[in-house]
Structure 1
Amino acid sequence: MYVNANAATTSSNSSDSSDSSEAATTTAASSSVSDVVDAANAFLDTLDDDQQSEVLLDFTEANATAWSNLPCGSTCRVGIEFSTLSDTQLTAAKAVIEAATGTGSGTGYDQITQILAADDYLGETASGYGSGNYYLAFLGTPSTSGTWQLHFGGHHLALNLTYKDGEVEGTTPYFVGVEPTSWTEDGTSYEPLAAQSDAMQSMLSSLSTSELSEAKLSESFSDVLLGPGDDGDFPTTKEGLAVSELTSAQQKLVLAAITPWVEVADDTTAESVLSTYESELDETYIAYSGGTDFDTQGDYVRIDGPGVWIEFVCQDGVVYTSKIHYHTVYRDHNTDYGGEFSF
């Protein structure tokens, strides 16, 4: 569970960091969770019995890990498909996601809506894409008591927020990608992962030549290492450059690079989680492979701490083959799926 933001303090003591990581993450977000539960129940009230049976599922490992970065529909996902909902039901479904996620511009719910827009944009060029191909499920019964999970996703998005006794128990895994990385439609410009890309580039650009050399990985990456189906497969040894070797200013850039992913959760939870990760910076490592401009297949960056795990990678485009597209994943060593399963 997530520690209260006011209780976390920065420490280089490994046992202190371990304790905070194991306690990892209870927030006093009861009011926020109540809002999510209220929105979930309002959505359920719009559904008939058959539709409710699609949404309300058991919180099992098989259901929780049913997510993918592919446009594979119900063959790799559980829940009710957005395209089957009426306008009223769709509005209520989106209200659940909005209540559960962050309010920042370019992060949280705003970012999620842009990812859905990206799939609609792809759907104008290629079949099988679109915001209608996204699925929402409640694993367990939405409540301020007991354990349940908000499970939402489709191509290029997997949102897993786990609740226990009215508090946020886990905010990961969170997979998010985008193709193309930017576009303009009807006079509006979109760049859904600009916050992540810009923050990672700022972090890497602050490194000296020798620091870049120490952070460079010998491996090359065509995708994230811990994507769908790779639950719990964290490397046993941390690689790259220890954040403890960096200046205070550089450490702030590392924390800033973590922030856009953490802000997927409601604001209270995000603040608390980020405070925990800040207290663990001395045991956190940054690493990269390929280049640092994020414009070439295989450009890759990682942040790996006692709790936080973030990957960001560039791939050649699938639909827009002349352009790069991004895949990223945010996990927590201790609280993926609320720490409910052993991998």
Structure 2
Amino acid sequence: MTTSCNSMRPQEGRPGEPAAAPGSPSAPAQQAAEQGAPPPDPPAPAGPPGAAPPPGGAAGRATAEAIAASARAFLDGLDGEARGRALLAFQGREREDWHYVPRRRAGLALGDMDGGERSAAHVLLRAGLSPEGYRKLEGVLLLEGILGGIEGNPAFRDPGLYHLALFGQPGPRDPWGFRFEGHHLSLNFTSAGGGVATTPAFLGANPAEVPSGPRKGLRVLAAEEDLGRAFLASLTPAQRQRAVIAPAAPPDLVTEASRRAALPGFDGLPAAEMTPAQRAALVRLLEVYARNFPADVADGHLDRIARAGVDRLHFAWAGSAAPKQSHYYRIHGPTHLIEYDNRGGDHIHTVFRDLQDDFGDSLLARHLQEGHGAPGRGR
């Protein structure tokens, strides 16, 4: 059961929210001749030893009910051919074959939907996200069109090429899930037994700041960048020496699009060596990622982090501390991992990973332990 997160959140004011991105555009779909998806990593046992267990089925129950109802409404509005593309088997490797680069994708593309179908798809996306998370999603789609103009290749950078795929029949108890994915976006939801898992969750932004045109100055992932850099600036020289793990940022997220976000150890500055004000700032940065989801889901993530111990979180930085330069940070604890990478200072990748429950690993295990059978392979 989700409990209060007051043990994590000090009684201090929160920084202002980033500017809201404008509404989601749509465009005709164009079939990109991208390379096929590489095979995903094999599943592995979820979560490091000693980590706090995931919450029970009550965590995220309201969101689980909302996404199931919205998914059923979306499917009910599709004809046979579109339904066949959108609805896939729950079992198999496709559900876990995620990525954030342009490539061929399973599911039904936004550009292949009519207006009513697109509206129903966005109702489902709103149900799975907080208002702030949905604004970021809209912003990612908007940036794709802007990037197409900057690169002079609007057919390749097409906001209509984002795909919605449902895995299994949406319902209150049996396992099912959905993925909404395209360039710089991968949202993965798994539901079973009245609960919901919401990771991996990837959001990217290119450009990080729109340089010109009607949207000049738009920064879709402003809080992720600004609060991360502000946190680094709050450290003492001795703390910064612990936190900075490399002089140069990596070329991408360290865990990339792995099936399991495994790192060899905990690098950087442990929260146990931070002041109370610094720990409060670290939690505020972490909340920027967790609160992309509805309150019942976000509170479940934050409660587990608190029960595992905020002092066990580690903050690591690589690259420059100056704006517009390549930099990277991560927050790594027993239950969750956040990675942020900014290549060239204007191309952001972020990911929120649940080390125990990506793709519903723990959620599905509990579902089986409670006496339910394995999910069916059919549609």
- Contact kept? 1:4, 1:272, Cα under 8 Å: yes
CA–CA distance in structure 1, aligned partners of residues 184 and 200 of structure 2: 13
Q: Deviations over 1:132-159 (max 9, x none)?
A: 0100011122111111212111000000
- Contact kept? 1:240, 1:286, Cα under 8 Å: yes
Write the mapping of 1:139-218 to structure 2, written as runs, cut at 5 A.
Answer: 139-168=167-196, 170-183=197-210, 185-186=213-214, 189-218=217-246
Note the aligned Cα RMSD (angstroms). Answer: 2.3
Write the mapping of 1:21-60 to structure 2, written as runs, cut at 5 A.
Answer: 21-24=52-55, 26-60=57-91
1:236 aligns to 2:264 (yes or no): yes
Unaligned runs of 5+ in 2: 9-47, 366-379
2:253 aligns with: 224
Shift of the alpha carbon at 1:212?
0.4
1:289 aligns to 2:318 (yes or no): yes
Shift of the alpha carbon at 1:231?
2.1
The AA in structure 2 aligned to 1:40 is A
Q: 1:122 aligns with which of 147, 150, 160?
A: 147
After superposition, the Cα gap between the structure-2 partners of 1:121 and 1:287, relative to the gap in structure 1 and judged at 3 Å, is same
Give the total of aligned pairs.
Answer: 319
The AA in structure 2 aligned to 1:281 is V
Shift of the alpha carbon at 1:290?
1.0
Unaligned runs of 5+ in 1: 11-16, 317-322
Write the mapping of 1:261-300 to structure 2, written as runs, cut at 5 A.
Answer: 261-279=289-307, 280-297=309-326, 299-300=327-328
CA–CA distance in structure 2, aligned partners of residues 84 and 283 of structure 1: 46
Shift of the alpha carbon at 1:64?
2.0
After superposition, the Cα gap between the structure-2 partners of 1:264 and 1:60, relative to the gap in structure 1 and judged at 3 Å, is farther
After superposition, the Cα gap between the structure-2 partners of 1:114 and 1:31, relative to the gap in structure 1 and judged at 3 Å, is same
CA–CA distance in structure 2, aligned partners of residues 219 and 148 of structure 1: 43
1:310 aligns with: 338
With normalisation by structure 2, the TM-score equals 0.78
Q: 1:334 aligns with which of 323, 348, 356?
A: 356
CA–CA distance in structure 2, aligned partners of residues 85 and 304 of structure 1: 39
Between the aligned residues of both structures, percent identity stands at 25
CA–CA distance in structure 2, aligned partners of residues 29 and 300 of structure 1: 31
Shift of the alpha carbon at 1:264?
2.3
- Contact kept? 1:5, 1:273, Cα under 8 Å: no
The AA in structure 1 aligned to 2:83 is Q
Matched position secondary structure for 1:95 = helix
Q: 2:98 aligns with which of 61, 67, 86?
A: 67
Q: 1:137 aligns with which of 140, 147, 165?
A: 165
The AA in structure 1 aligned to 2:338 is I
- Contact kept? 1:312, 1:326, Cα under 8 Å: yes
Q: Deviations over 1:75-108 (max 9, x none)?
A: xx2211111000111111111001111123xxx1
CA–CA distance in structure 2, aligned partners of residues 24 and 285 of structure 1: 22
Matched position secondary structure for 2:138 = helix
CA–CA distance in structure 2, aligned partners of residues 143 and 130 of structure 1: 32
- Contact kept? 1:25, 1:276, Cα under 8 Å: no
CA–CA distance in structure 1, aligned partners of residues 291 and 253 of structure 2: 20
With normalisation by structure 1, the TM-score equals 0.86
After superposition, the Cα gap between the structure-2 partners of 1:6 and 1:233, relative to the gap in structure 1 and judged at 3 Å, is closer
2:107 aligns with: 79
Shift of the alpha carbon at 1:186?
3.4
- Contact kept? 2:2, 2:296, Cα under 8 Å: no
After superposition, the Cα gap between the structure-2 partners of 1:272 and 1:293, relative to the gap in structure 1 and judged at 3 Å, is farther
